A and B are shown apart, each in its own frame.
Chain A
């Protein structure tokens, strides 16, 4: 299991390192308006969702393994959907504050906003405060 874990991290390292490098190249070639789109490219999600599904299938619990794997991957996708709304907040903060604030402070504030929004939506969804209950 440890071996698989390290290879997963290696895959993530390579995929997202590549996306970071490619984003820089795209921005240099086509401008920051185009390059900025790829800051949220879901490069790693196909690999991580597949791994989550595979890991959950291996567990011996009462639910059929195919359904268990599918549910785990679906929960991951749901988490991505919630956090993407937080990313909108992150982007707005950087867009507005980067020209006037210190860079590190701007990124820290933006990250805090991302986390706060993502957690809020997760909490609301988990406790069904504003969303129709759905089984997943």
Chain B
């Protein structure tokens, strides 16, 4: 339980730092890079490595590759939903979430399992 709380706090702090840094940047497309900063990965992998489990962290990272590909497709779909179909950003980004899940879980099922 303490580990979960610790992960919550550390993860939230690292993300907030990246978000604050991204907010200072211009133009918007450059600041957008930091919306996909590896903040959750840094927090999770950092905590894993602190418990001296580098092989565990390496295995998580291998799966992260599939997650990152899914994230790329998710962002691409969201972009098109916003610009081509003129959806509001919130609706577009939430609508594209099942796509991320399908891609990531599909990659896990077909390649990583």
Interface residues of A in 3-21 (CB under 8 A from B): 5, 8-9, 12-21
Please tell me the number of chain B residues within 8 Å of chain A, measured between CB atoms: 80
Cβ-defined contact, A75 with B89, below 8 A: no
B40: contacting residue among A13, A23, A81, CB under 8 A: A23
Interface size class on chain A is 35 or more
Measured between beta carbons, the chain A residues less than 8 angstroms from B82 are 70, 73-74, 77
Q: Which of B36-94 contact A (CB under 8 A)?
A: 36-47, 49-50, 54-72, 74-76, 78-79, 82-83, 86, 88-90, 92-94
Q: Point out the residue from A36, A45, A70 that lies within 8 Å of B61, measured CB to CB.
A: A36
User: A-side interface residues toward B, CB under 8 Å?
Assistant: 5, 8-9, 12-21, 23-25, 27, 31-50, 52-53, 69-70, 72-88, 90-92, 94-96, 98-99, 103-104, 106-107, 110-111, 114, 118-119, 122, 125-126, 136
Contact B40 A41 (CB under 8 A): yes
Q: How far is the CA of A88 from the CA of B10 in the complex (A)?
A: 23
Contact partner of A84 (CB less than 8 A), chosen from B11, B39, B75, is B75
Q: How many A-B residue pairs have CB under 8 A?
A: 305
Q: Which of A90, A98, A111 contacts B57 (CB 8 A)?
A: A98
The CA of A53 and the CA of B55, in the complex, are separated in Å by 41
User: Of A17, A18, A46, A80, which is within 8 A of B94 by CB?
Assistant: A46
**A114 CA to B92 CA in the complex, in Å?**
26
Chain A's closest residue to B38 (CB) is A90
Residues of B within 8 A of A77 (CB): 32, 75-76, 78-79, 82, 89, 93
| Interface of chain B residues 87 through 113 with chain A (CB within 8 A) | 88-90, 92-94, 97, 100, 104-105, 107-108, 112-113
Provide the residues of chain B in CB contact with A94, threshold 8 Å: 41, 45, 57-58, 61, 64
A12 touches B15 (CB 8 A): yes
What 5 pairs across the A-B complex have the smallest Cβ distances?
Answer: A79-B32, A20-B11, A17-B12, A36-B63, A103-B49
Q: Are the C-beta atoms of B64 and A37 separated by less than 8 Å?
A: yes
Q: What's the nearest-Cβ distance from chain A to residue B20, in Å?
A: 7
